[in-house]
Amino acid sequence: MRAALLSLPFVLLAAPAFAQGMPNSLNMTCSATRAMVQQQGAVVIATGPNVYQRYVADQRYCDYGEETYPAWIQTQDQSQCYVGMECKQPMHSDR
């Protein structure tokens, strides 16, 4: 218990450093954001304070059973920029 309490300040100090390393679409152009997704295949991108999502280049980067859906996000130069795809569970209709 004491070790956990002593390590807590270090964990709290590391959290902002982790967030700083995440790319933020609001600081990037549309073409740079799209290129990053295509080059890396899958990347987590912040789209605002405490808002982030994983974007992928294609189906290969999704889990089994997930489908790809087009992803449009705001970037520095465009309010709606197509950056790639998002992996989501398929929506099934009972009709």
Q: What is the pLDDT of residues 60-88, one digit of tens each?
A: 999 999 999 999 999 999 999 999 999 99
pLDDT band at 91 (very low <50, low <70, confident <90, very high): confident
Q: Does a structural domain hold residue 7?
A: no
Q: Does a structural domain hold residue 18?
A: no
Q: Does a structural domain hold residue 60?
A: yes
Q: Does a structural domain hold residue 54?
A: yes
pLDDT of residue 52: 96
Q: Does a structural domain hold residue 65?
A: yes
pTM, 2 dp: 0.74
Q: Does a structural domain hold residue 36?
A: yes
Domain span at residue 57 reads: 23-88
Question: Measured between alpha carbons, how far is 6 from 8 in angstroms, rounded to an integer?
Answer: 6
Question: Measured between alpha carbons, how far is 28 from 21 in angstroms, rounded to an integer?
Answer: 14
Q: Does a structural domain hold residue 82?
A: yes
Q: Does a structural domain hold residue 2?
A: no
Smallest CA-to-CA distance from 55 within 41, 76, 74, 35 is with 41
Overall domain count for the chain: 1
